Amino acid sequence: MILINLLPPELRKRQSGVSPMFISVVAGGGACALLLLLWLYLIWIRIPNADRLIAAKGEELKVKTAQAEEVLKLEKQIAEAKDRYEQIVGMMTRKVYWARTIDEFATLLNGPFTIPNFDVRSQSLTITEASAVPGSRRATPSGAGGRSGNEPTKVAFKVNWRYKLLGKERPLAGDYMKSLFDTIKASKFWSEQGFTGRPEDSYEGDTPRPNLDINRVIIEGQLDWERVKVVEARARK
């Protein structure tokens, strides 16, 4: 029996050389192979590399942590050394520094003065540390404005002296005070110990009063002075 396709050529079913089923199978297999390769890449390459990177970063973190602890220890030691340095400076400025000065002042009060016939007695001597001196390391932090940490430290002190002057003649009371100021100003005690200004700058006058029991005129008052000490700083490594 012979079959004859009587349909027009454009409606006739055309035969393909490749089966659609075969194409689907090949495409599916290729996709699976690609996924398998990607999975193997992640398991054998990416994940081991990530593990090694995590381990390396962990070791680096341990090293950095140890270094940071060492830096903190050094900073603590530096702070303690600085505190000890400040304490030593404080002891020197408050005790040893003043011992010679007070001795010179006591010697000065024994005379001789520029005129005779009067004596000076010290009622009290109060010494307090003043605020930071402009230009010192206390006034300007180290490193600010290009200053070096090795520059000298300037320490200022306020001195309050209460005195009693006993003279023989009432009319010479003013001369006694002038002689006292001139003697102090001309002494090494004043000129070489860092006192600022003049001895009489804080003098506000007085009221001499006679004492008939001892046949003396008495002048009492107080003076405020400022003394600046320059402490040479040692270079720190």
42 in a domain, yes or no?
no
127 in a domain, yes or no?
yes
Radius of gyration, alpha carbons of the chain: 48
From edge to edge, which strands make up the β-sheet containing 216-231? 118-129, 153-167, 216-231, 209-211
Q: What is the pLDDT of residues 112-160, one digit of tens each?
A: 888 888 999 989 988 887 755 544 444 444 444 444 455 566 778 899 9
CATH at 195: 3.30.2000
161 pLDDT more than 90? yes
30 in a domain, yes or no?
no
Q: Is the Cβ–Cβ distance between 154 and 93 less than 8 Å? A: no
39 in a domain, yes or no?
no
* Domain ranges, residue 130: 94-231
215 in a domain, yes or no?
yes
25 in a domain, yes or no?
no
Widest CA span in the chain: 173
21 in a domain, yes or no?
no
Give the predicted TM-score (pTM) of the model. 0.53
Structure tokens at 61: 């973190």
Instruction: Rounding to the nearest 10 degrees, give the CA dihedral for residues 200, 201, 202, 203.
Output: 40
d(CA 225, CA 200): 9
In which element (H, E) is residue 222 found? strand 216-231
Q: Name the most confidently modeled range: 50-59, 76-85, 137-146, 215-224.
A: 215-224
Give me the percent of the chain exceeding a pLDDT of 70: 74
The number of domains in the chain is: 1
Looking at residue 162, its pLDDT comes to 93
212 in a domain, yes or no?
yes
Q: What is the pLDDT of residues 15-46, one digit of tens each?
A: 555 667 777 877 888 888 888 888 888 888 88
Beta bridge partners of 119: 166
